[in-house]
Amino acid sequence: MSDFHLPTFKTKRLTLRHYTEDDFSLQRELDSDPDVMKYVGLGKVRSEDESRKIMNRIFADYEVFDIGLYIVEDSLTKEKLGRAGLIPWSIEGEFYWEVGYTFKKSAWGKGHATEAATYLMNWGLENLNTDYLICLIHPENLDSIHVASKIGMNFWKEITFDGMERSVYRTL
């Protein structure tokens, strides 16, 4: 892996930093928890090989876009809470930036997703060449829909993405 020179982001309580190989254990923890994965990807736990492919894609995004999914840590304790970032997608022939977030169950309900997503949305709108950002959300994932709404996104449309139904929320 290259030595990435990516920005580190800091919010009131969180530090968002790029992935390193040392973060594979967190990737596995998230990817192997059925509750965490219920609305992520295909809605099921991932194998170790699938987790490795996800990390390889994250590193490839860093190479191409200088941004992508980040590790989210508690700024005080340095505990790894999950991942969040700006994810590039090609959907229905169009290019989009998604504000994405996935957290360990122990971090749920504490406002971490909202805090990280707010920061990333604002940074993305100021620094990426885009008119708006999206969130791809499983239609039954009420918690993620709440986060998207709370940060100012509105429902835009329903799509099929990677064979799964998704609600698309977007900034105005």
pTM of the model: 0.93
pLDDT at 1 over 60: no
Q: Are strands 69-74 and 14-18 parallel, antiparallel or unpaired?
A: antiparallel
Query: pLDDT tens digits, residue range 66-109?
Result: 999 999 999 999 999 999 999 999 998 999 999 999 999 999 99
Mean pLDDT, all residues of the chain:
94
Q: Are strands 69-74 and 80-91 parallel, antiparallel or unpaired?
A: antiparallel
Query: pLDDT tens digits, residue range 15-33?
Result: 999 999 999 999 999 999 9
CA–CA gap between residue 154 and residue 148 (Å, rounded): 7
Question: In the numeric block, which tokens belong to residue 159?
Answer: 């799509």
What domains are defined for the chain?
9-170 (3.40.630.30)
CA–CA gap between residue 37 and residue 46 (Å, rounded): 8
Backbone angles phi, psi at 113, to 5 degrees: -65, -45
CA–CA gap between residue 40 and residue 33 (Å, rounded): 11
Q: Are the C-beta atoms of 98 and 83 separated by less than 8 Å? A: no
